[in-house]
Amino acid sequence: MNLQLLPLVSAEAENTNTHYQTTIRSAGHTIVADEPENQGGTNTGMNPYSLLLASLGSCTAITLRMYIDRKQWAIEDVLVNMDIYKTETGTLINRKITFKGDVSAAQHERLLAIANACPIHKILSGNIEIVTS
64, 117 contact by CB (below 8 A): no
The model's pLDDT over 77-96, given as tens digits with 9 standing for 90+, comes to 999 999 999 999 999 999 99
pLDDT of residue 3: 67
The pLDDT value recorded for residue 79 is: 98
Measured distance CA(69)–CA(7) in Å, rounded: 29
Q: Where in the chain is the domain with CATH 3.30.300.20?
A: 48-125
DSSP-derived secondary structure for 23-92: EEEETTEEEEE---GGGTS---SB-HHHHHHHHHHHHHHHHHHHHHHHHT--EEEEEEEEEEEEETTEEE
Q: Provide the whole-model pTM.
A: 0.91
Contact 34, 43 (CB under 8 A): yes
Low-confidence ranges of the chain (pLDDT < 70): 1-3
Rounded distance, CA 79 to CA 81, Å?
7
What integer pLDDT is reported at residue 76 of this predicted model?
Answer: 96
Does domain 48-125 fall into CATH 3.30.300.20?
A: yes
